Amino acid sequence: MGEWGLGSVIRLAVVVAAIALQGCGGGGDGAEPAAVNTTPTVNTAPTENLVSATQIASVTKAQAAVLFTLAQVPLVPAYDVKIYKIVYRTSDASGAPINASGALVVPQNLAAPAPLLSSQHGTTTLKSDVASTAPPAGLPYLNPEALTFGTAGYITALPDYIGYGESGDRFHPYLHAKSLAGSVIDLLRAAKTFCATNNIALNGKLFLEGYSEGGYATMAATREIQEKHAAEFAITASAPMAGPYDLSTSLLDVMNSSSYPSPGFVAFAFWAYDRVYALNILGQVFMPLYAAKLDSLFDGTHDLSTGINPALSTDLATLFKGQFLTDFRDGGATALKARIQENNLYSWTPAVAMRLIHCKGDDIVAFKNSQTAFASFSSNGAKRFVQLVVPIPAGTHVSCAEPAVLAAKSWFDTLK
């Protein structure tokens, strides 16, 4: 449920990129990082939750063009951008106030007020693999969504989520709707404060997008804004992409199969829910060999694909205890399944423009998640607001990511 093609391609070509960017007038930072509005505040009022903002990078149009070319992404950057690490106040999964972080991408030399966009990232298990992490010295800033939307003129907020960046001393409450929505909304508040303080004019339009866990977070934030913060935020358009909105069915389908290609995803979900809800059931869920590994595997230093998946088993009968598999597939494991059900995101009625973007060939997050959400929204009376979009029908979870994000951007560009 991770990052799309631009980031992965550039990482393979990072040395070439760094050399090319030097020819365009310098590395990704462009200048020494500068602190802005660094006086901390613990005021959590909606317009006063910004703690600090520190510039971590800058990228020129020419530099971004090199990166897009290397990644074979069909975009032409229109603006230079500065990227800031934003530290802001939010609440953790228990409701306790904490500091969290995200990035804010600010296009330079805007001729008119700009739209605000929130971009939610997909699954990562590395604490530093988030948008607010400064690039190594001499290397370019590579976050794909930050560059895709920022260089197109969107003031782009990218929440790290709890458990990453500034809150990296905590665990990430994976696929927990309330805390994900809070991370998004509170960063938007901090972004508006930053813009007001620095005389950056916003045009009042707000866009949300995200892929995989980011799609889930986008859906959660859209619902939360519509139902509880509509007077504060007016959503212009929302594009949740390839998210597990029907989390109950998604996990049941996995558990009903004999194998799953990426066991780290389901292990991450059960491990996080066990901690969020203090269920204390991991010893009943996983075979002892794997139960003993989970805290260390999800400590933020192991990559999902190269470190966590290989340490688990794709054979569910080997990974999970037999009694748990029987209970989960039938009428048992009620406490866990009740918490999962609380985090389903399809039983509400969107009243904002929304496109559910998903590929039918998704092998990690089944396409029927978007089908279920679209059917539910339509039957609830939201059909005029919501569309189901398939950018490339046979696309897998990985191959669909870039076309999905570009489809969302193309749509947003007609509305900004």
CATH of the domain at 23: 3.40.50.1820
Q: pLDDT digits over 158-200, tens only? A: 999 999 999 999 999 999 999 999 999 999 999 999 999 999 9
Structure confidence at residue 48 as a pLDDT band (50, 70, 90): confident
Last residue of a domain, one of 322, 342, 362: 342
Q: Which domain holds residue 140?
A: 5-246+348-413
Length of the chain (residues): 416
Say whether both 254 and 227 belong to one domain: no
**Do 311 and 387 lie in a common domain?**
no
Confidence of residue 212 (pLDDT cuts 50, 70, 90): very high
Whether residues 241 and 254 share a domain: the answer is: no
Cα dihedral 69, 74, 79, 82 in deg (nearest 10): -60
pLDDT (tens digit per residue) in 120-165: 999 999 999 999 999 999 899 999 999 999 999 999 999 999 999 9
Residue 23, pLDDT above cutoff 80: no
Distance CA(21)–CA(372), nearest Å, equals 45
pLDDT the model gives residue 43: 35
Bigger pLDDT: 35 vs 86: 86
> In terms of domains, do 23 and 79 share one?
yes
Q: How far apart are the first and last CA of the chain?
A: 28
Q: Does 19 share its domain with 111? A: yes
With a cut of 60, say whether residue 220 has pLDDT above it.
Answer: yes
pLDDT band at 28 (very low <50, low <70, confident <90, very high): very low
Average pLDDT over residues 375-382: 97
Domain boundary among 342, 370, 404: 342
Element at 52 (helix H, strand E): strand 50-59
Kindly report which listed range (8-22, 262-276, 386-400) carries the lowest average pLDDT score: 8-22
Q: How do residues 265-314 score in pLDDT, each as one tens digit?
A: 999 999 999 999 999 999 999 999 999 999 999 999 999 999 999 999 99
Average of per-residue pLDDT values in the chain: 91
pLDDT value of position 7:
47
**Does 326 lie in the same domain as 196?**
no
DSSP 45: S
Contact criterion met (CB below 8 Å) for 248 and 338: no
pLDDT at 18: 47
- My answer on whether 44 and 167 are in the same domain is yes
Question: Same structural domain for residues 97 and 179?
Answer: yes
Residues 325 and 232 in one domain: no
**Same-domain status, 151 and 256:** no
Give pLDDT, residue 320: 98
CATH number for 326: 1.10.260
Confidence at 231, pLDDT banded by 50, 70, 90: very high
Helix (H), strand (E), coil (C) string for 222-263: HHHHHHHCCCCCCEEEEEEECCCCCHHHHHHHHHHCCECCCH
pLDDT at site 20: 46
pLDDT digits (tens, 9 = 90+) for 65-75: 999 999 999 99
pTM of the predicted model as reported, rounded to 2 decimal places: 0.91
Averaged pLDDT, 77-83: 98
Q: What is the pLDDT of residues 314-356, one digit of tens each?
A: 999 999 999 999 999 998 999 999 999 999 999 999 999 999 9
- The pLDDT of residue 162: 98
373 Cβ contact partners less than 8 Å away, ≥ 6 residues apart: 219, 245, 246, 345, 346, 356
Output the pLDDT for position 38. 32
Q: How far is CA 247 from CA 83, 202, 250, 262, 339, in A?
A: 34, 35, 5, 16, 10
Q: What is the pLDDT of residue 121?
A: 98
